[in-house]
Structure 1
């Protein structure tokens, strides 16, 4: 089943789906695994696995530190692929996507990377700096190997470009709720609602909203508007401050019953 067909939340009348996030190798792969176990137990449906990169331009300071710490500990792309293969097998109720930066993909080999993702069951790729008009080889490899290229729009994306990105994206369209990097609190209100409404009027796929979701209140704001709510930095912050037990408690406040 293609990724878009698995997304039944938001405006369809079903509870909004939650996509959680892990930076692989941080603080270590064992903790990554236990976090994913918590995601499945808590009712998350999608998991974004980030392959670390030294200069993650879309990420704020919390993720920047985690990326660099993971690399400093020796994390490799090969290890990330092996870990992903394991969790795809062990957690069949979850849909897994990779998030990384284009340099990682290029260094591995574009088609080789996408082919490897398909072979282990990765369903989508979020590569913020792989702009579709400048990365035809990547887009073609995704189509060839049936891995969805997830593209990103912001409130500053023109309607013309939004239509283009909507036509090119696969699985869903990633809506960054504001300009800037991950981790900073977003004030969800009329401007966010107007942005989502504009995207919804153009998008040909389900939509996901991320950047700055930090509480159950934020998720409830998005219910009935977005198909997916993406939660990343806040999960890592809770893990660092309160450990796995704190993450379990936090997930109960985030994920609709």
Structure 2
């Protein structure tokens, strides 16, 4: 059982919804990013989604694209992202970390070496946006064999014919993308999300977490109310991009977490 599995079992037993927060590793710099990441559990975050900076983040909108560019300009690398996770683990051995990014940096490092290093750094799961199920032998299956969850995205365009393929090697949870398009482009609507969550849950015995388009405590509550939890990324990253202090960012995160947990 991974930390992710354990966390969702704990939440289910308590009848609580999950709050997942995304931040870009190294944004705006390594030290500030580490301070924010270390503070997330205390702000109510159940699962940390740690962005891996990449030059061509095709699924992400301008807010997260700029965060990745700030991190890269500051010298952030895959190794430094793993170093950040390693530092976090020195004081927190229970909060799950999902590394979210794209395949190119992993491929460049080498899958076997990456998985060994990610496991040693305390990474619990992977979301690799540009690897479809047809490429499961590349990373998904080796990751699961190494003891990491491989989390897949389902979207409004994932029809009943495609859904079983998407779910076949997914573990940890299913990330439902509530809108068509990039991160931060539109707002999620609970009425649209609810039937899609039910459809996915009927096909997989996994928690369904909804992201993209969740940006306020009220929206976090509404979306978490029709799913097993919610993810907020762009709204948090925007605060960082505006130069807010770690304390201010974490105070904002707490309002979102409180919203999701009140569902």
> Given the two structures, how large is their TM-score scaled by the length of structure 1?
0.93
The residue correspondences of 1:1-257 to structure 2 (distance < 5 A) are 1-2=1-2, 3-8=4-9, 14-241=15-242, 242-256=244-258
Contact persistence 1:7–1:206 (CA under 8 A): yes
1:144 & 1:196 partners in 2: Cα distance? Answer: 28
Q: Quote the offset at 1:79 in angstroms.
A: 1.3
1:94 & 1:42 partners in 2: Cα distance? Answer: 12
Equivalent residue of 2:245, what SS? helix
Equivalent residue of 2:49, what SS? strand
Farther off after superposition, 85-94 or 8-17:
8-17
Q: Quote the offset at 1:184 in angstroms.
A: 2.2
2:94 & 2:135 partners in 1: Cα distance? Answer: 35
Q: 1:200 to 1:10 in 2, by over 3 A?
A: farther
Count matched residues: 257
1:35 & 1:160 partners in 2: Cα distance? Answer: 41
1:179 & 1:9 partners in 2: Cα distance? Answer: 32
- CA offsets, 1:35-79, max 9 Å, x none? 123211112111011110000001100111111221122212111
Contact persistence 2:21–2:48 (CA under 8 A): yes
> Given the two structures, how large is their TM-score scaled by the length of structure 2?
0.91
Q: Quote the offset at 1:222 in angstroms.
A: 2.3
Q: Quote the offset at 1:194 in angstroms.
A: 1.8
- CA offsets, 1:187-227, max 9 Å, x none? 41322222222122212211111001101111211234222
1:196 & 1:125 partners in 2: Cα distance? Answer: 21
Q: Quote the offset at 1:236 in angstroms.
A: 1.3
Q: Quote the offset at 1:85 in angstroms.
A: 1.1
1:139 & 1:236 partners in 2: Cα distance? Answer: 27
Computed over aligned residues only, the root mean square deviation of the Cα atoms, in angstroms, reads: 1.9
2:172 & 2:159 partners in 1: Cα distance? Answer: 21
Gaps (5+ residues) in structure 1?
Answer: none
Contact persistence 1:174–1:207 (CA under 8 A): yes
Q: Quote the offset at 1:93 in angstroms.
A: 3.5
Gaps (5+ residues) in structure 2?
Answer: none
